[in-house]
Copies of this chain bind each other. A is one copy, B any other.
């Protein structure tokens, strides 16, 4: 059912730890699950030319991004024997130390959950049209590029 009704991936602002706890708790009734793999992206206070990143302001081509997320889900469910998968990515300003990406995969067996989680992370980085403006302490900025 997870597979058929994907929720929106893009959410406003940082992803709170309580949301992650709630997602985990929601899976305790699914007793065919033996392993969960979770990836969290957190905003780093990178130094660039003696200035320090304070936040990243995320924007996205939202309709296309949701379409891409849906395609990644479909591909993941056909590649991996996972029970469920959830992904959330922030839009708007996320401060250093806060969570901007939450990927959560579950399976009967650990290796499948872990591989699927990695697949999601790499695919999202490579294919989702999301853009990040790194904001420095003095409110100047530079545009982030995934390496």
| Chain A residues with a Cβ under 8 A of chain B | 17-18, 20-22, 24-25, 27-45, 96-99, 106, 108, 110, 114, 118, 121
Q: Is the interface of A mostly helix, strand, loop or mixed?
A: mixed
Contact in complex: B45, A40 (CB < 8 Å):
no
In the bound assembly, the distance between CA atoms of A20 and B32 in angstroms comes to 21
Contact in complex: A114, B110 (CB < 8 Å):
no
- Some 13 contacts from A to B, beta carbons below 8 A apart, are A20-B20, A20-B21, A24-B40, A27-B42, A28-B98, A28-B99, A32-B44, A32-B45, A37-B40, A39-B110, A42-B106, A114-B114, A114-B121
In the bound assembly, the distance between CA atoms of A97 and B29 in angstroms comes to 6
Nearest-neighbor residue (CB-CB) of A24 within chain B: B17
Partner of A99, one of B24, B99, B110: B24
Across the A-B interface, the 3 shortest Cβ-Cβ residue pairs: A21-B21, A31-B45, A38-B38
